[in-house]
């Protein structure tokens, strides 16, 4: 089978990390997120994927110049303008010449969903499309999908108020679609699959959905991006992963706990890094503390400084000695050089 992987978003919720890098190229445990997504597809027999790209397409082409990643052959489809979810799917599928049933996944969602089981369900029910569902505590930020007993979708309710949601099963962003669905999508304009295409398919009785009791996370915010990697370290998705890259330099008396330490990272004497992501080339000075934070590539935390409470440092950002950044973000290349007596809250 072939797949369409949506990677065209601007990643605004993950800024400043995504100001220079598409979010699907951000590292998840020492390799780009997109590689985790494609490895999952490959494990279920998908050997070709078209990347529906818009923002910084060069980053993908530069990383995989031979058009191969995780054993999956890649096609690059670059939108001439943002076309929304359905428009992006149509453009990418047509670009790659997809003429049969295919899978659609979001490039910023990590899941252990059994795609083979989803395809079998789709084939057995003879619909035009099948949506994978996921159960959440608060469905108000997602598309909610109530179904009949046989899985036929009754309605598609996009981001309902929490107390009005008809179910706690949400659209998990993985679909099996017949090629005929492409004919439902208008050409040359923005079209939302959630707001236009799926409701029309519901009206025609050709959309199905099935829940999958499996790991699922949308990595598009700093807390979820951090959690996705902490889950790997804790063994939530199988064996516990090793978070420290072998090329990292860590002082003998430094403390590193439950953290991902990237390639070439330097952690100074007496420093402490807990529950954090430290991207390649970053430096943590002597006596500094990094706790539940994300440090971008080549960023610097000065001696005695503290970065915590989901603070995010962009690439090449610098937090000077003895300063504190608690929450918020420091922009790409920004230098915080305040007097040691000052404290920066939410910089």
Per DSSP, the three-state class of 14 is helix
Are 218 and 224 a contacting pair, CB within 8 Å?
yes
Beta bridge partners of 32: 27
Give 268-273 contacts, CB < 8 A, sequence gap 24+.
Answer: 268/303
Per DSSP, the three-state class of 182 is helix
- What CA–CA distance (Å, rounded) separates 247 from 266? 9
Q: Are strands 31-32 and 27-28 parallel, antiparallel or unpaired?
A: antiparallel
With a CB cutoff of 8 Å and minimum separation 6, the contacts of 268 are 251, 254, 283, 284, 285, 286, 287, 288, 303
Segments in the chain forming alpha helices (H): 33-43, 57-63, 84-95, 115-125, 198-203, 222-234
Alpha carbon distances (Å) from 70 to 34, 47, 166, 279, 318? 9, 9, 39, 22, 35
Q: How many CB atoms lie within 10 A of CB 66?
A: 7
End-to-end CA distance of the chain: 47
- What CA–CA distance (Å, rounded) separates 293 from 207? 41
Could you list the active site residues?
Answer: 159
Are 50 and 4 a contacting pair, CB within 8 Å?
yes
Q: How many CB atoms lie within 10 A of CB 138?
A: 10
């Amino acid at each position: 089978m072939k797949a369409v992987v949506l990677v065209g978003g601007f990643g605004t919720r993950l800024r400043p990390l995504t100001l220079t890098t598409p979010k699907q190229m951000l590292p998840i445990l020492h390799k780009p997120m997109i590689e985790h997504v494609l490895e999952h597809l490959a494990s279920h027999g998908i050997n070709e994927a078209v990347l529906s790209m818009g923002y910084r397409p060069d980053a993908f082409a530069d990383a995989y110049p031979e058009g191969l990643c995780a054993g999956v052959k890649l096609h690059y489809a670059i939108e001439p303008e943002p076309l929304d979810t359905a428009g992006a799917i149509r453009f990418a599928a047509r670009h790659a010449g997809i003429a049969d049933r295919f899978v659609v996944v979001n490039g910023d969602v990590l899941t252990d969903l059994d795609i083979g089981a989803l395809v079998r369900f789709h084939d057995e029910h003879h619909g035009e499309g099948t949506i994978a569902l996921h159960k959440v505590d608060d469905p108000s930020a997602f598309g909610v999908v109530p179904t009949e007993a046989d899985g036929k979708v009754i309605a598609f309710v996009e981001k309902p108020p929490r107390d009005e949601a008809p179910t706690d099963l949400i659209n998990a962003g993985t679909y099996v679609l017949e090629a005929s669905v492409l004919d439902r999508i208008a050409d040359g304009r923005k079209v939302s699959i959630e707001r236009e295409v799926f409701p029309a398919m519901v009206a025609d009785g050709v959309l199905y959905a099935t829940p999958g009791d499996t790991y699922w996370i949308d990595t598009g915010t700093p807390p979820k991006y951090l959690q996705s990697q902490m889950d790997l370290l804790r063994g939530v998705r199988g064996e516990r992963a090793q978070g420290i890259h072998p090329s990292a330099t860590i002082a003998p008396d430094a403390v590193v706990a439950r953290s991902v330490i990237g390639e070439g990272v330097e952690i100074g004497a007496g420093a402490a890094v807990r529950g954090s992501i430290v991207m390649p080339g970053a430096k943590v000075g002597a006596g500094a503390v990094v706790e539940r934070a994300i440090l971008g590539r080549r960023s610097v935390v000065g001696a005695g400084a503290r970065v915590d409470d989901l603070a995010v440092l962009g690439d090449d950002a610098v937090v000077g000695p003895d300063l504190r950044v608690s929450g918020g973000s420091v922009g790409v290349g920004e230098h915080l050089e305040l007097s040691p007596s000052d404290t920066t809250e939410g910089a």
